[in-house]
Homo-oligomer: A and B are copies of this chain.
Amino acid sequence: MNTINVAVLGATGTVGQKFITLLEGHPYFKVAEVVASPRSAGKRYDEATNWKQDNFIPTDVANLVVKSTDDALESKILFSGMDASVAGEIEEKYAAAGHIIISNARNHRMNPVVPLAIPEINHDHLNAIKTQPWKGGIITNSNCSTMFLAMVLAPLHKAFGIDFLHVTTMQAISGAGYPGVASMDILGNVVPFIGGEEEKMEIEAQKILGSFDGEKIISADFKVSAQCNRVPVFDGHTETLSIKFKKSATPEEVKEVLRNFRGFAQEKNLPSAPAQPIIVFEEENRPQPARDVWKGNGMATCVGRIRKCPLNDVKMVIMGHNTVRGAAGAAILNAEAIVEMGLV
C-alpha cells in the first residue's frame, strides 16, 4: 500500500500535536498538511506551535507551512483536533468538499448518520458515511471518558445485556488541553466538576453499542449515571463502575468475557490496535494511571478489582490513556479501519 497523505486540522493544539506525534512513522498515513486558525497560517509549523509533547517535532512536519481553515486542502483524509467551538462548521465545510473527516470533536457525535466509532466494537457503523448528506464524510470517536467505558461495556452487553450503571471518574489534567486547568486549581486538589462531561458520558456509550440499520444509528437501551472529577494526574482517566446486567453474571464470568474480547481491529491487525484491547488485572490495587497508562502503547483499556457489588452485579475499576486511546489514537484507529474496509 502506498502511504496516504493526510491533513491535521487544529494542528497547533494539544490534540493536533498528539495526532502528529502518533502519526510519526505510521505505515498508512503521512502528515502532508497542517491546518490551523488564520492567525497561525503562513508560519512554519514549529514556529506557530507551542509544542507540549515529550518527543521533538518530527522534522518533516516542523518544516510544513501552516494552512488556514479557509484554504482548500489536497489530502482526502483530515484528522480534526479542532476545538468544539469551531469544529462543527469547518468539518461540515470540508465534508461537503469531499474530504473524510476523522474528528475528535464532540459536535457531530450524536448525529444519527455520523458513526461514533470504535473499531473493536462497531466497525459496521462506519458504513454510515455512505448515507451522509455530504460528498465526503464525517466519522467521530467518543469522549475520552466514554471510550474506556464503552470498551468494557461492549462485550458485557453482548454477553449479559447492560441494564444500567453508575460511573464516577477521576480524570487527568491533559484531558482539558493546554493551558487547560490552572495549577492553582488542581495541585493537591480534586475538582468535582468537568463542564459537559457527565452529559456526554450519559448518552454516548448507548450510541456506540447501538445498531446501524442501514440508514441511521439507533442507540442501545440502558441508563448511565455519571459523576466526573478532575484529579492531579497527568495522563490516564480512572473510573469506578457499578453495573447491573439484564442477565445476572458473576465477577468470574465478567473477567472471562473481558479477557477474551477481541474485535475487528484485532482481527484485521490494524496498526494502532492493541493486541489485547482489555487487560484484566488481578492485583488488588491496579490499574493505576501512573503505572499502567502506556499498556498496549496507550491503546489498551485496563480493568481491575472486578468484584461483587452489594447493590448490582459487579463493581470494577477501569483506566486508559485519555489523549491516546481516548482521543488522537482512537481517531487514527478509525482511519485505519476505513482504509481496511475500503471506505476511502
> Cβ of A182 and Cβ of B190 under 8 Å apart?
no
Q: Is A232 an interface residue (CB 8 A)?
A: yes
Contact status A178-B173, CB under 8 Å: no
Instruction: Report the minimal beta-carbon distance from A59 to chain B, rounded to whole angstroms.
Output: 15
A186 interface contact, C-beta 8 A: yes
Q: Taking each of A164, A202, A231, which has the highest tally of chain B beta carbons within 10 Å of its own beta carbon?
A: A231
Interface residues of A in 249-286 (CB under 8 A from B): 284-286
- Provide the bound-state CA to CA distance between A178 and B310, in Å: 32
The interface-forming segment of A66-74, A113-121, A210-218, A233-241 is A233-241
Q: Which of B173, B193, B236, B292 contacts A284 (CB 8 A)?
A: B193
Interface size on A, residues (CB 8 A): 57
Tell which of A82-90, A143-151, A222-230 binds the partner. Answer: A222-230
In the complex, which of the residues B173, B184, B312 contacts A234, with contact meaning CB atoms closer than 8 Å?
A: B184
Cα A242 to Cα B223 in complex, Å, equals 14
Chain B proximity of A151: nearest CB distance (Å) = 17
A48 vs chain B, min Cβ distance (A): 15
A170 touches B170 (CB 8 A): yes
Inter-chain CA distance A174–B187, complex, in Å, is: 11
- A290 near B234 (CB under 8 angstroms)? yes
Does A287 lie at the interface of the complex (its beta carbon under 8 Å from any beta carbon of B)?
yes
In the bound complex, what is the Cα–Cα distance between A182 and B50 (angstroms)? 13
Asked if B234 and A188 make an inter-chain contact with CB atoms under 8 angstroms apart, the answer reads yes
A35 to chain B, nearest CB (A): 23
- Which residue of B164, B166, B187, B315 is within 8 Å of A183 (Cβ)? B187
Return the 10 tightest CB-CB contacts between A and B, nearest first. Answer: A179-B182, A189-B290, A168-B168, A193-B285, A227-B240, A192-B317, A183-B183, A225-B311, A181-B183, A188-B188
Give me the interface of A with B, judged by CB distance under 8 Å. Answer: 52, 54, 164, 166, 168, 170, 173-174, 178-193, 202, 223-225, 227, 229, 231-234, 236, 238, 240, 242, 284-292, 294, 304-305, 309-312, 315, 317, 319
29 pairs, CB–CB < 8 Å, chain A vs chain B: A52-B184, A54-B294, A166-B166, A168-B168, A170-B190, A170-B231, A173-B184, A178-B184, A180-B182, A181-B182, A181-B183, A181-B184, A182-B183, A183-B185, A184-B234, A188-B289, A188-B290, A189-B289, A190-B233, A190-B236, A192-B288, A192-B317, A193-B284, A223-B311, A225-B315, A227-B315, A232-B232, A232-B233, A234-B290
